[in-house]
Amino acid sequence: VAQDSGSVDLPLMRDYECPPFMRVSTDDHQRALIGLDAEVVGKKMLESPKDSLTTYEVVSREDMDGNDVSRLTLTSISGRTHQLNVHCAAIGHPIVGDTVYGFEGEAAANGGLDESALPEDKASAELQQAIASASAGKPMCVHAKSISFRHPVTKEDLSFECSAPF
């Protein structure tokens, strides 16, 4: 990632071409849903796109088997399903080890965006391939360093922190 910090503000929708995954919603993607029967494709597939905002900050720039990678702090402002994965793929920097939204993953490439819609500083296909090869068979490099919530029974506010194992 070239910039030290930034945000990704792209709406998300269910992926009608690669269910059950998610993708960035575009006007073309929305038009493709016109006329589909909810009884056939399922009601959730026809839900309106959801606003989704992710912020990122570069923690460090590192080397993975001779390939440049960036360690980021990602913050999901809107908390959508698969949001961090789709947004990283949509800016051309998929999460290392992501076999669903990453290089040649199961979901639509680039978070469902055309190659021409990606930013200029996207990782090249060669770099993504090299990183995918270097991370093959390893867990995805994503980790919740902190989580806070109110306990549903005791109503106590709880917070936990843990550094990344990678």
DSSP per position, 9-74 = E--EEE-SSSTT-EEE--HHHHHTTTT--HHHH-GGGGSPPB--EEEEEEEEEEEETTEEEEEEEE
State the pTM of this model: 0.91
pLDDT of residue 44: 86
Cα–Cα distance measured from residue 68 to residue 64, given in angstroms and rounded to the nearest whole number? 6
Q: Taking residues 103-128, report their average pLDDT.
A: 96
**pLDDT tens digit string along 73-85?**
999 999 999 999 9
Q: How far apart are CA 53 and CA 50, in angstroms?
A: 10
Share of the chain above pLDDT 90, in %: 89
